Chains A and B, each alone.
Chain A
Amino acid sequence: KNQVEQSPQSLIILEGKNCTLQCNYTVSPFSNLRWYKQDTGRGPVSLTIMTFSENTKSNGRYTATLDADTKQSSLHITASQLSDSASYICVVSRSYNTDKLIFGTGTRLQVFP
């Protein structure tokens, strides 16, 4: 069964600290993996997208990694800010089908001062 599982479900950190969010998937065939940030009451916003051949991609303080062999990805947030408080959603795309995005349920991150 095609699934995307994220951990932890929720996370609380202090401002300025780093954190890492995990994503494991069992999607086949694999095309690309995406990370989205969703603020409360808003739509998801794309952070990164990685294909099979890419194992790291950065977007400012966000760095995503991909291990296609173990089917794992992580999103590392450096020097967290209050504005990083949001849900982070891992999405895996199956090859060839634009409609075949498998969404994880997200990690809810709260950054406190």
Chain B
Amino acid sequence: DAGITQSPRYKITETGRQVTLMCHQTWSHSYMFWYRQDLGHGLRLIYYSAAADITDKGEVPDGYVVSRSKTENFPLTLESATRSQTSVYFCASTGQEYQPQHFGDGTRLSIL
């Protein structure tokens, strides 16, 4: 089915472990984004990508790594998870810079 999918939907891990969140879109959108959503905060941009092999930092990039070797995939890696990274993570994509972004349904990540 066309759309944007995130996996896993739920993840529990321990501090210090590496964890990768996956994002896949079928529209061939150029732009992809990673956000985190925490209580009391609006969505905050972690990283974004304007095209394959082009990525840039957002508002809260520390502790995260991204890559984009293919247009349709944009994985987010927490290299050494910390409790402060417990959050709901959303991936989004758009074909045009000023068009609405399409969001996945999120990954709820808990770090113990």
A residues at B contact (CB < 8 Å):
4, 31-32, 34, 36, 41-46, 49, 89, 91, 93, 98-99, 101-106
How many residue pairs bridge A and B at CB < 8 Å? 51
Interface of A is mostly: strand
Residues of B within 8 A of A43 (CB): 90, 92, 103-106
Q: A43-B92, A99-B48 are in contact. Are A105 and B101 (CB under 8 A)?
A: no
A-B contact pairs, 10 of them (CB 8 A): A32-B98, A36-B100, A41-B105, A41-B106, A43-B103, A45-B103, A46-B101, A89-B42, A98-B31, A99-B56
Known: A91-B42, A105-B40. 6 other contacts (CB 8 A): A41-B106, A89-B42, A89-B43, A98-B98, A101-B45, A104-B42
**Contact across chains for B103 and A44 when beta carbons are under 8 A apart:** yes
Contacts of B98 in A (CB 8 A): 31-32, 49, 93, 98
Contacts of A99 in B (CB 8 A): 33, 45, 48, 56, 58
Q: Chain A residue with minimal CB distance to B44? A: A103
Please report the total number of B residues contacting A with Cβ < 8 Å.
Answer: 24
Q: In the complex, what distance in Å separates the CA atom of A42 from the CA atom of B56?
A: 26
Q: Which of B50, B90, B100, B102 contacts A98 (CB 8 A)?
A: B50
